[in-house]
């Protein structure tokens, strides 16, 4: 295996041509920076594997959009604006990492990346069963928790780790939040076939 040059991997998304620049298509610089933090939580070897095959797009204040050709050839992850940490949180300092809204944002992004990494299938397009889909969801949650906790440990914040139970509680909360927000049934971020 060739040596991974960390400096090249993690060049800011504001630098044209960087991996982060190619992957991240957010509506604000701050949101781009948050996605950078999520990508830095991935084990280096996994980010290195995914880096040329990933598009992470924020859809928040626009009415509609069409994906660029470069994005269509990638694993595409679409984020809604309301999952981002509130304004005022600085990236991943100790104050921010204590906030559930910060860790849950990272979990949501890592969960979707886990689906991409594992090349999970779709109920609608691949015909997998609800049981198979739920198995994929559990696998994505486990991977995301492992990645996030390992990263938090590596920067000295292991006490702010997530448990699977906390993740499930957060999922339940966000389902309720979406139901209230939309006034109707709303399929949650983890994509179970409900
Ligand atoms: Zn999912």
Q: What is the pLDDT of residues 61-95, one digit of tens each?
A: 888 899 999 999 999 999 988 888 877 666 777 77
Rounded Cα distance between 46 and 37, Å, is 15
Examine residue 1 and state whether it is found in any structural domain, yes or no: no
Domain enclosing residue 156, as ranges: 6-182
Distance from residue 71's CA to the centre of ligand 1 (Å): 20
Distance 108 CA to ligand 1 centre (A): 9
Task: Determine, yes or no, domain membership for 187.
Answer: no
Q: Give me the pLDDT at residue 180, please.
A: 74
Query: Which of the two residues, 171 and 154, has the higher pLDDT score?
Result: 154
State the total domains in the chain. Answer: 1
Q: What is the Å distance from ligand 1's center to 189 Cα?
A: 6
Cβ–Cβ under 8 Å, residues 111 and 171? no
pTM for the whole thing?
Answer: 0.85
What order do you get walking across the sheet with 54-59 strand by strand?
A: 24-25, 54-59, 75-80
Residue 139 CA to ligand 1 center (angstroms) comes to: 9
Q: Is 118 within the bounds of a domain?
A: yes
pLDDT(139) > 70? yes
Judged by DSSP in three states, 178 sits in: helix
Higher-confidence residue of 184 and 153: namely: 153
pLDDT of 15 = 94
CA 133 to ligand 1 center in whole angstroms? 9
Model confidence band, residue 175 (pLDDT cutoffs 50, 70, 90): low
Choice between 132 and 81, residue whose per-residue pLDDT is larger: 132
Q: 137 alpha carbon to ligand 1 midpoint, in Å?
A: 5
User: Does a structural domain hold residue 171?
Assistant: yes
Q: What's residue 122's pLDDT?
A: 94
- For the chain, the distance separating the N- and C-terminal CA atoms, rounded to the nearest angstrom, is 42
Q: Would you say residue 98 lies in a domain?
A: yes
CA distance 37 to 89: 13
- The verdict on residue 193 lying in a domain is no
CB 136 within 8 A of CB 118: yes
Q: How far is the CA of 7 from the centre of ligand 1 (A)?
A: 31
Which residues are bridge partners to 76 per DSSP? 55
Q: How many residues does the chain have?
A: 194
Confirm whether 123 is domain-assigned: yes
Quote the pLDDT of residue 70.
Answer: 92
**HSE-CB for 173 with a 13 A CA cutoff:** 10
Question: Which residues crowd ion ligand 1, with CB under 5 Å?
Answer: 137, 140, 190-191
E strands in the chain: 24-25, 54-59, 75-80
Q: How far is the CA of 119 from the centre of ligand 1 (A)?
A: 12
CA of 85 relative to ligand 1 center, distance in Å: 20
DSSP class of residue 128 equals -
Q: Can you give the pLDDT at residue 4?
A: 52
């Amino acid at each position: 295996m060739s040596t991974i040059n960390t400096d090249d991997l993690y060049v800011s998304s504001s630098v044209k041509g960087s991996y982060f620049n190619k992957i991240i298509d957010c509506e604000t610089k701050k949101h781009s920076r948050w996605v950078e933090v999520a990508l830095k939580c991935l084990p280096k070897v996994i980010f290195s594997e995914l880096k040329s095959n990933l598009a992470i797009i924020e859809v928040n204040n626009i009415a509609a959009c069409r994906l660029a050709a470069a994005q269509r050839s990638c694993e595409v992850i679409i984020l809604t604006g309301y999952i981002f940490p509130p304004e005022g949180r600085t990236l991943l300092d100790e104050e921010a990492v204590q906030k559930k809204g910060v860790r849950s944002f990272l979990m949501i992004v890592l969960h979707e990346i886990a689906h991409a990494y594992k090349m999970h299938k779709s109920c609608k397009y691949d015909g997998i069963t609800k049981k198979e889909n739920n198995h994929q969801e559990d696998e994505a949650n486990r991977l995301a928790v492992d990645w996030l906790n390992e990263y938090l440990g590596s920067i000295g914040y292991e006490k702010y780790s997530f448990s699977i139970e906390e993740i499930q509680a957060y999922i339940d909360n966000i389902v309720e939040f979406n139901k209230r927000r939309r006034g109707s049934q709303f399929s949650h971020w983890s994509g179970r076939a409900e």
